[in-house]
Amino acid sequence: MLVAEWLFEILSEEIPSRMQEAAQEQLKSLAETELQAEGLGFETIRTFVTPRRLTLVVEGLPLKTPERVEEKKGPRVGAPVQAIEGFLKTAGVSREACDILDTPKGQFLSVTIKQSGQLTESILSKMALSLLEKFRWPKSMRWGSSPITWVRPLRGLLCVFNGKVVSFSYAGIESSNTTQGHRFLAPTPFEVQNFKDYKKKLRDHFVILDWQERRQIVQAGVAKVAGELTPLKDESLLDEVTGLVEWPVPLKGKVDEHFMNLPLEVITTPMRVHQRYFPLMDNQGKLAPYFGVVANVEAPDQGKTIVIGNERVLRARLADAQFFWEQDQKQPLEHFNVSLKTRLFHQHLGSVFAKVERLVKLSTQMAERGGADPKIVGRAALLSKADLASQMVNEFPEVQGIMGRYYAQNQKENAEVARALEEQYWPKASGGKTPDTLPSLILAMADRLDTLVGFFAIGITPTGSKDPFALRRAGLGLIALALNPRFTLSMLEALGWAYECYPWNEFAIPQLKNKEETLADLWKFLLERFKFFLRDVQGSPYDHVDAVLSVANQNPNLFDLSLRVKALDQLMDGEDGKNLLVAYKRASNILKIEEDKDKCIYEGQVKEELFDLDEESELFKNLSQKLPEIEDFVKKGEFVKAVQDLATLRSVIDRFFDKVVVNTEDKNKRVNRLHLLAYFRRTLHQVADFSKIEG
Averaged pLDDT score across all residues of the chain: 93
- How many CB atoms neighbour CB 427 within 10 A? 17
For 281-312, the pLDDT digits (tens) are 999 999 999 999 999 999 999 999 999 999 99
What are the backbone dihedrals phi and psi of residue 676, each rounded to the nearest 5 degrees, phi first? Answer: -65, -40
For 380-389, the pLDDT digits (tens) are 999 999 999 9
For 252-290, the pLDDT digits (tens) are 999 999 999 999 999 999 999 999 999 999 999 999 999
pLDDT at 402: 97
Q: Where are the domains of the chain?
A: 3-64+119-204, 68-115, 211-328, 335-537, 567-692
Exposure string of 466-504, with b = 16+ CB inside 10 Å and e = fewer, is eeebebebbbbbbbbbbbbeebebebbebbbbbbebbeb
Q: Is the dihedral of CA 322, 327, 333, 336 positive or negative?
A: negative
Q: What letter would DSSP give residue 150?
A: B
pLDDT tier at 375, thresholds 50, 70, 90 = very high
Strands 53-62 and 99-103: unpaired
Domain at 567-692: CATH code? 1.10.730
Query: Helix, strand, or coil here: 232?
Result: coil
pLDDT at 226: 97
For 451-461, the pLDDT digits (tens) are 999 999 999 99
pLDDT at 555: 67
pLDDT at 1 over 90: no
pLDDT tier at 179, thresholds 50, 70, 90 = very high
The whole-angstrom separation of Cα 333 and Cα 324 is 14
For 30-48, the pLDDT digits (tens) are 999 999 998 899 999 999 9
Largest CA distance in the chain: 101
The whole-angstrom separation of Cα 470 and Cα 467 is 5
178 burial type by CB count under 10 A (0-12 exposed, 13-18 middle, 19+ buried): middle
pLDDT at 603: 86
pLDDT at 217: 98
Cα of 564 vs its chain's centroid, Å: 24
Which range among 234-248, 334-348, 492-506, 553-567 shows the weakest confidence by mean pLDDT? 553-567
Instruction: Determine what percent of the chain falls in helix, strand and coil, rounding each to the nearest 5.
Output: 55, 15, 30
pLDDT at 395: 95
pLDDT at 637: 86
The percentage of residues in the chain with a pLDDT greater than 90, rounded to a whole number, is 81
pLDDT at 431: 83
For 418-432, the pLDDT digits (tens) are 999 999 999 998 888
Task: Name the residue among 342, 348, 346, 414 with its Cα closest to residue 381.
Answer: 414
pLDDT at 68 over 80: no
Alpha helices by DSSP H, 8-112:
17-37, 81-91
pLDDT at 328 over 80: yes
Domain at 335-537: CATH code? 1.10.3210
pLDDT at 181: 97
